[in-house]
Every structure is written in C-alpha cells, then in structure tokens.
Amino acid sequence: VLGQKIATVNTVNGVRVTLEDGTWGLVRASSNKPALVVVVESPVSKEKMHAMFGELDTVLSGFPEVGGYDQKLKAA
C-alpha cells in the first residue's frame, strides 16, 4: 500500500492497516447510523494521510454492496 509493506493489521472493531512509516487507515461501522466510518492518520505528512484515504476510497468503491460513506478530506 502506497509503496510500503503493511506492518500490522488489526481487526478489532473494524479493520486498521498500519504501514511501515506509521501511516494508518481504519474502516469501521458507524456506532449511530448504518454507514461506514473511515479514519486515517500519518505521522509523516498530510499528503501521506490523503494518499491513505485515497487508497481506502479506491478499495471501498470496488465493493458497492458494502454500503456508502460520505466522508471526504479537506485538501492537503
């Protein structure tokens, strides 16, 4: 993902993928509505954070049966 190896995958309360540089993305069910929540962070840069969101968005858009989410990130 993003040219890096996946360092860890945690499947407690969703799926969280952490890359070698500490950048991570989490996809989980919303606790108060029938939708997905996508959370991303990166200790490296805002650009990496946005790139991780883009990767997750691409994967999720390939599975329309999973359902929608209305999250977007502000420009880097």
Tell me the domains of the chain and their CATH numbers.
6-64 (3.30.310.50)
Rounded distance between C-alpha atoms, residue 66 and residue 48, angstroms: 25
Instruction: Give the global pTM.
Output: 0.85
Rounded distance between C-alpha atoms, residue 42 and residue 45, angstroms: 6
27 in helix, strand or coil? strand
Rounded distance between C-alpha atoms, residue 59 and residue 75, angstroms: 20
Question: For 45-70, how does the pLDDT look when each residue is reduced to its tens digit (9 = 90+)?
Answer: 999 999 999 999 999 888 888 776 66
Structure confidence at residue 30 (pLDDT): 86
**Residue 73 confidence (pLDDT) above 80:** no
Question: For 27-48, how does the pLDDT look when each residue is reduced to its tens digit (9 = 90+)?
Answer: 998 888 888 889 999 999 999 9
| Closest residue by Cα to residue 25 from 3, 35, 75, 14 | 14
